[in-house]
Chain A
Amino acid sequence: MRKYLLFIWVSFLNLIEYRLNFVWSVAGTIIQTLMIYMFWTAVLGSGFGNGIYDRSSIGLYYLFITFVGTFASFDFFRIAHLINSGNLGMEIIKPYNFIIKEFAQTIPDKILKLSIMILIYLVIKYFGVNHQLSIIQIIFSSLAMVLAAVSKFYIGLSIGGLAFWFKRVHGFNALFWNVGGLFSGDLLPLNLMPAILFSVSAYLPFRYLAYFPVQIMLGKINFGWELLAGIGLQLIWVLVFSALCKLIWKFGMLEFDASGK
């Protein structure tokens, strides 16, 4: 356990050392969220949405979407690069679990970004946006966010693992998330979609990676079967993605010769 804490600490120091780098990553996310929010206020102002959202609730929706997105994100590129360069060989002979180490290294970034998002949320509340988060909402939305982060971690590892066979895997990542963007609630709230697309999204993993945790935060999920079913489905998707990841890495390691491509 101590060595993983050390990885977290080193990763944190790295973040502090290259703080401008961190600022760019946060700034990009904030600008994009702000633009989408402004666009949606214009869309809602034109009569779209049958009053499901108003100016403040759509703002909160996109704030929480960004919240979950930044918390759950995972950089698959590092993994692909390790495989392509052959440096993965050095990693797997060392006395630590490579997967746990990779996850541990993402923790400082997640905590720092989460702190910034919480700060933004408090500032928005200070300026009069009416939103209440109960203790139960905080507990279950945190759980849903962690499950989304674990799912995205396994998805990232799986896509990165495709580098065992392909030299460039960015395309697979973009393809997966482009389809996902429409069904995860990133592009538009799912309850504003036509009924057929909304029904389709229930059978795909994407809505449980962003939309579902956000709905808990917004208080639009009933604390009963709806919540439990959502968490249960999140768990099932975690299992599916972890199994897929194990499969890819099991066969991928047979291809790996540590010499790079």
Chain B
Amino acid sequence: MKRYIRQYFRMFKLSFMNEMTHRGNFLTWAIVHTTSFISMIVLFKIIYLGTSQIHGWSQYQAMLVLGVGTLVTGIGSLTFFPFMYNFGQDVQNGDLDLKLLKPLDVLFQSAFCWVDVEDIIVAPNAILLIVYSLWKLSPQNIIINLILFLILLLSSLMILFSVLTLIQSLTLKFIRVDYVAGFFWSLVNITKYPAKAITNIGKAGLILLVPVAVISSVPAEVLFGRFDWLWIFGSVISAIVMFFLSRWVFYKSLKSYSSASS
């Protein structure tokens, strides 16, 4: 485990040095992410100008979901999100060979291949909104809420990681899956909406809403002190199951890899 942590920090340092050679790009992205975040806050503000709540969700509860969804995105960008960009290229070019030869877990090497330092501003922005919303909501027992929130945050990241691993396993079979990034970003983006505020939908809608709710709405609920134990346990258990299942699928699919142009 120590070896993997050391490996991650070494990569972080290299990615950071690389990013700093394009400072203009780094600054542009800081502005981009902040503008994007502000536009979502403006959207929520506009909505709550016309209504006091959406099916029991107040303005700052919805903002908390936006903050948590953005925090998940920010942490994902600094850890495993780069998995969605280069893996397909590695499979097409046969560069995965190099990873197979190294004495490190292949899934770890593929997922944590570099750090998206240009997205570093996302997490602090999200934390600011979370703190502000919590201040407005002033929940009780914040310490307990926070501990449970951190567990659920980890679950959310594990679920997203598992989904990405399952999608990328397909790359090993179908070779060219360039739009995976677009698809995955679509999934990540919708976690910023308070999915649990959406009611009166059919079964098809529920299939989409449950995972989205698990990723951002459930941790946000815990943070402001609403404990829905079925969702909480469901989230943790599904994260563990999905993590091991996706790992198994990935290594199973890896068997069909036969170097360049396979």
- Number of chain B interface residues as a range: 35 or more
List residues of B (161-214) whose CB comes within 8 Å of A's CBs.
Answer: 170, 174, 176-180, 182-187, 189-190, 193-195, 197-201, 205, 208-209, 212
Most B CB atoms within 10 A — which of A38, A167, A178, A182?
A38
A175 contacts B32, CB within 8 Å? yes
Q: Which residues of B contact A170 (CB under 8 A)?
A: 29
* 25 A-B pairs with C-beta separation under 8 A: A18-B176, A18-B178, A20-B170, A21-B177, A24-B179, A24-B182, A24-B183, A25-B179, A28-B186, A28-B187, A31-B187, A34-B205, A38-B209, A39-B193, A42-B197, A45-B199, A48-B51, A170-B29, A174-B32, A181-B39, A182-B42, A187-B43, A188-B47, A192-B50, A197-B46
B47 contacts A171, CB within 8 Å? no
B32 contacts A178, CB within 8 Å? yes
Q: Which 5 A-B pairs have the closest CB atoms?
A: A171-B28, A28-B186, A28-B183, A25-B179, A24-B179
B189 contacts A20, CB within 8 Å? no
A27 contacts B47, CB within 8 Å? no
Q: Does A172 contact B (CB under 8 A)?
A: yes
Task: Tell me how many residue pairs across A and B have CB atoms closer than 8 Å.
Answer: 128
Q: A-side binding surface: helix, strand, loop or mixed?
A: helix
**B22 contacts which of A35, A42, A167 (Cβ < 8 Å)?**
A167
Q: Which residues of A contact B29 (CB under 8 A)?
A: 170-171, 174
Q: Does B31 contact A (CB under 8 A)?
A: yes
Q: Does A29 contact B (CB under 8 A)?
A: yes
**Separation in Å of the A22 CB from the closest CB of chain B?**
7
Q: B-side binding surface: helix, strand, loop or mixed?
A: helix
What sequence of 0s and 1s flags, for each residue 10-50 of chain B, a beta carbon within 8 Å of any chain A beta carbon?
00000000000010110011011001100110110011011
Q: Does B249 contact A (CB under 8 A)?
A: no
**B190 contacts which of A22, A32, A197 (Cβ < 8 Å)?**
A32
**Separation in Å of the A52 CB from the closest CB of chain B?**
10
> Given that A20-B177, A28-B179 are contacting pairs, would A178 and B50 also be in contact in the complex, using a CB cutoff of 8 Å?
no
**A48 contacts which of B50, B197, B200 (Cβ < 8 Å)?**
B50
**A46 contacts which of B28, B55, B187 (Cβ < 8 Å)?**
B55
CB closest residue in chain A, given B186: A28
Q: Which residues in B have some Cβ–Cβ distance to A below 8 Å?
A: 22, 24-25, 28-29, 31-32, 35-36, 39-40, 42-43, 46-47, 49-51, 53-55, 118, 170, 174, 176-180, 182-187, 189-190, 193-195, 197-201, 205, 208-209, 212
Q: A187-B43, A188-B43, A192-B50 are in contact. List 15 more A-B contacts (CB 8 A).
A: A20-B177, A21-B176, A24-B179, A24-B182, A27-B183, A34-B205, A38-B198, A39-B197, A48-B54, A166-B25, A167-B22, A171-B25, A175-B31, A178-B36, A188-B47
Q: Which residues of A contact B177 (CB under 8 A)?
A: 20-21, 24
Q: What CA separation (Å) do A31 and B36 show in the bound complex?
A: 20
Q: Which residues of B contact A49 (CB under 8 A)?
A: 50
Q: What CA separation (Å) do A188 and B49 show in the bound complex?
A: 14
Q: Does A47 contact B (CB under 8 A)?
A: yes
Q: What CA separation (Å) do A21 and B171 show in the bound complex?
A: 10
Q: Which residues of B contact A47 (CB under 8 A)?
A: 50-51
Q: What CA separation (Å) do A90 and B50 show in the bound complex?
A: 56
A194 contacts B49, CB within 8 Å? yes
> Given that A47-B51, A182-B39 are contacting pairs, would A194 and B46 also be in contact in the complex, using a CB cutoff of 8 Å?
yes
Q: Which residues of A contact B197 (CB under 8 A)?
A: 39, 42
Q: Does A41 contact B (CB under 8 A)?
A: yes
List residues of A (1-57) whose CB comes within 8 Å of B's CBs.
Answer: 18, 20-22, 24-25, 27-29, 31-32, 34-36, 38-39, 41-43, 45-50
Q: Does A93 contact B (CB under 8 A)?
A: no
Q: Does A193 contact B (CB under 8 A)?
A: yes
Q: Does A229 contact B (CB under 8 A)?
A: no
CB closest residue in chain B, given A169: B25
Q: Which residues of B contact A45 (CB under 8 A)?
A: 54-55, 199-200
**Separation in Å of the A124 CB from the closest CB of chain B?**
13
CB closest residue in chain B, given A18: B176
Q: What CA separation (Å) do A27 and B190 show in the bound complex?
A: 13
